[in-house]
């Protein structure tokens, strides 16, 4: 399957609609909880921003970076700056809905959970993702994923936004 055929199969905007419905159900399942949506930089942050707006949540969304807790930063480098963590609420005792664009090995999720605990101890952390591509190296499973796909290990999928702010997927060989 070529990258072009992947693009035809995965409509990021349609999947966002499914993610919105799934997150709405997750939030509605516990209406007494003040849930904070936190997006993993960068695609997850874009999703969290739009989810918080579309859901009309009373708590502003946060953004979290994996940079300080990655187990591979010696090979990737450490880039801080615009992708730094920003959590405009108290983490202690709060229910956190962690949002990511693509879940693969689980290593980024592990890193951001470590980062989250640097800010306090949440009451719970729930993960929702746009795309789960399998291949887990850690025991991490989303409570909701809009799509599950299988890709070769040497292919990468990431979320992007066009000039109009609409979501789209990018595929590349690594």
Element (H, E) at 33: none
β-strand partners of 160: 168
If you average pLDDT over every residue of the chain, what do you get? Answer: 89
From CA 27, how far away is CA 36, in angstroms rounded?
A: 10
Band (70; pLDDT cuts 50, 70, 90) = low
Mean pLDDT of 142-157: 95
Q: Is the pTM here over 0.75, yes or no?
A: yes
Cβ-proximal residues to 154 (8 Å cutoff; 6+ apart), any chain: 173, 174
Whether the CB-CB separation of 66 and 111 falls below 8 Å is answered with yes
pLDDT digits 0-9 by tens, 18-43: 999 999 999 999 888 889 999 999 89
Question: Which tokens in the block code for residue 117?
Answer: 């605990």
Q: Is the predicted pLDDT of residue 5 greater than 70, yes or no?
A: no
Where do runs of H (alpha helix) occur along the chain? Answer: 3-9, 12-28, 43-55, 73-76, 107-118
Q: How would you class 41 by CB atoms within 10 Å of its CB: exposed for 0-12, middle for 13-18, buried for 19 or more?
A: buried
Please count the structural domains in the chain.
1
Candidates 37, 44, 161, 33; CA nearest to 103 is: 44
From CA 156, how far away is CA 53, in angstroms rounded?
A: 29
Residue 86 sits in a domain whose CATH number is 3.40.50.2020
Q: Which domain holds residue 72?
A: 3-173
Question: Which tokens in the block code for residue 52?
Answer: 């918080």
């Amino acid at each position: 399957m070529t990258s072009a055929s992947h693009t035809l199969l995965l409509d990021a905007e349609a999947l966002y609609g499914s993610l919105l419905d799934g997150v709405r159900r997750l939030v509605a399942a516990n209406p007494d909880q003040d849930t904070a949506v936190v997006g993993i930089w960068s695609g997850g942050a874009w999703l969290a921003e739009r989810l918080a707006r579309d859901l009309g949540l009373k708590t502003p969304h946060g953004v979290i970076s994996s940079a300080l807790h990655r187990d591979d930063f010696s090979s990737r480098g450490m880039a801080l700056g615009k992708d730094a963590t920003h959590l405009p609420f108290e983490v202690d005792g709060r229910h956190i809905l962690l949002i990511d664009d693509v879940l693969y090995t689980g290593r980024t999720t592990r890193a951001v959970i470590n980062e989250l605990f640097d800010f306090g101890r949440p009451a719970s952390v729930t993960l929702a993702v746009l795309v789960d591509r399998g291949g887990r190296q850690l025991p991490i499973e989303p409570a909701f994923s809009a799509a599950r796909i299988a890709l070769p290990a040497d292919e990468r999928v990431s979320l992007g936004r066009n000039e109009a702010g609409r979501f789209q997927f990018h595929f590349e060989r690594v």
